[in-house]
Copies of this chain bind each other. A is one copy, B any other.
């Protein structure tokens, strides 16, 4: 019990337009224009902040993703969205995805440093390599770079970004009005990076930010993805359907992190869950089913076919997946997502129609439909069983699903001593119990 009182779980709210369920926009209460409405996101951010969640998160891919007929698209670019939300909130952490394949390190490092300043140290970056040829074609390429190359570029991108964030010493700004010396040129260092993918002179054009560096988040669960996370990530988003899989992933990633010489506590693992909450389990299940019934299977099948590298004609709705799918090794797109989908279908002998229902709710994440107690129990079980340091909450509907979670589940977690009653720190790092990074240069200098 003393143990439990000390180990607290972390909660991130993963937000997107009308919610994670692909048919959520069709509900009467949903605003189908929510994806471009800043007032909608301000309300969500403030709701999450009132509940003292660690952070909110926005996913991203620099491409029109999927079918516009099917659902509202991702909409507002997340780095500018975070900046807007930074001034509408004061404590909650703010995390956005950005791609290492389709950005330059200088531009992206500056934007994150700037948002860290604007928010007073509350920013995090979900580092992704961006799967898919459609995104590549928005950036002068015919096809996506190979999976290995994307991850090699991601690692070098992070090296450059860290050097840029560290290019100003924490005490570089002297502001000596009498002498007329604003910054100390000896404490602002060129980066002089030359590597396989990038050559960047630096220094960054902004003083070191409150957190030193943004919190680095990672969400790829392939072998490459886990290796990248072990080296760089401080939080990890992952989709896990069963407790056993989640425990295996958790143990594996903590071991990899230790193996590269890092403290396993310095990486927080957050499986995603889609809560569908009602006062009875039957009512929650009914809500979940009603949402699934609003899915238009033809649109969803087109997308599924894309992920599996098949034609929609290969996927009759009432049959199971074809037998002869390639192994993950042969996939160049999002490897871990591919495997998760195929394994889910095989394990539960799902037809394409059933699989679409499962994915439509949370795109591969675990849906928990039940009472607030049942949802809290499910979270606690995974947390206590070494499967999670916290959770990525992906409401099926928004704003309603977030309201339900913070109004009904968070108080139970709090009562059980599993979740904070007040913010204790000021920065995103402090919310997650992460240390402020020591500058790379300082590390390099002999003591």
Given the known interface contacts A62-B205, A63-B205, the answer about A69 and B184 at a Cβ–Cβ threshold of 8 Å is yes
Q: Is the CB–CB distance between B25 and A177 below 8 Å?
A: yes
Q: Is the CB of A111 within 8 A of B79?
A: yes
A103/B111 in contact, CB under 8 A = no
- Quote the shortest CB–CB distance from A46 to chain B (angstroms): 12
Question: Given the complex, which residues of B lie within 8 Å of A72, measured CB to CB?
Answer: 182-183
Query: Given the complex of chains A and B, what is the CA–CA distance between A126 and B434 in angstroms?
Result: 39
A378 sits at the interface (CB 8 A) = no
Task: Return A257 CB to nearest CB of chain B, in Å.
Answer: 31
Given A23-B180, A106-B62, A177-B25: A206 touches B84 (CB 8 Å cut-off): no
* Stretch of A30-38, A229-237, A280-288, A353-361 lying at the B interface: A30-38
Q: Are A86 and B86 in contact, CB atoms less than 8 angstroms apart?
A: no
Chain A window 84-127, contacts with chain B (Cβ cutoff 8 Å), 1 for yes, 0 for no: 11111000000000000011101100110111011000000000
Interface string of A57-85 (1 = CB under 8 A from B): 00001111101111111111101111111
A102 to B269, CA, bound (A): 35
A175 to B83, CA, bound (A): 28
**Known contacts A32-B173, A114-B80, A140-B199: A68-B184 contact under CB 8 Å:** yes
Given A102-B104, A140-B198 in contact, is the A36-B206 Cβ separation under 8 Å? yes
Chain B nearest CB: distance from A15 CB in Å?
15
What chain B residues lie within 8 Å of A83 (beta carbons)? 80-81, 83-84
A139/B104 contact (C-beta < 8 A), A181-B69, A207-B36 known? yes
Alpha-carbon distance between A125 and B204 when the two chains are bound, in angstroms: 22
Write the chain B residue with the least CB distance to A117: B36
Contact call B206/A38, Cβ cutoff below 8 A: no
Interface residues on A, range: 35 or more
Q: Does A251 contact B (CB under 8 A)?
A: no
By the criterion CB–CB under 8 Å, are B114 and A76 in contact?
yes
A201 touching B75, Cβ below 8 Å:
no
Contacts of A84 in B (CB 8 A): 83-84, 86-87, 118
A38 and B117 contact, CB distance less than 8 A: yes
Cα–Cα, bound, A102→B188 (Å): 23
**Whole-angstrom CA separation of A247 from B172 in the bound complex:** 45
- A202: Cβ under 8 A from any B Cβ: yes
Does A111 contact B80, Cβ atoms closer than 8 Å? Answer: yes
Distance A202 CA – B140 CA, assembled complex (angstroms): 11
When distances are taken between beta carbons in the complex, the residues of chain B under 8 Å from A113 are: 77
Q: Which residues of B contact A63 (CB under 8 A)?
A: 205
Q: How far is the CA of A353 from the CA of B276 in the complex (A)?
A: 71
- What 0/1 readout, one digit per residue, does chain A (365-377) give for beta carbons within 8 Å of chain B? 0000000000000
A137 neighbours in B (Cβ, 8 Å): 199-201
Residues on B with beta carbons closer than 8 Å to the beta carbon of A181? 69
A350 at the interface (CB under 8 A from B): no
A317 at the interface (CB under 8 A from B): no
Residues of chain B within 8 A (CB-CB) of A75 are 114, 117, 205-207
Query: Do the beta carbons of B64 and A188 come within 8 Å of each other?
Result: yes
A115's nearest neighbour on chain B, judged by CB, is B80
A7 within 8 A of B: no
Chain B residues contacting A183 (CB-CB under 8 Å) are 68-69, 72-73
Q: Which of A177-226 contact B (CB under 8 A)?
A: 177, 180-185, 188, 198-207
Task: Contact check, B110 vs A69: say whether CB atoms are below 8 A apart.
Answer: no
Alpha-carbon distance between A181 and B68 when the two chains are bound, in angstroms: 8
13 contacts between A and B (CB under 8 A): A25-B175, A26-B177, A61-B205, A68-B183, A68-B185, A72-B182, A75-B205, A76-B114, A76-B206, A80-B83, A83-B84, A85-B87, A180-B296
What 10 A-B pairs have minimum CB-CB distances, sorted nearest first? A68-B183, A32-B175, A137-B201, A80-B83, A83-B83, A77-B114, A64-B205, A106-B138, A36-B117, A83-B84
Q: Which A residues form the contact surface with B (CB < 8 A)?
A: 23, 25-28, 32-33, 36-38, 42, 61-65, 67-77, 79-88, 102-104, 106-107, 110-111, 113-115, 117-118, 134, 137-140, 172-173, 175, 177, 180-185, 188, 198-207, 294, 296
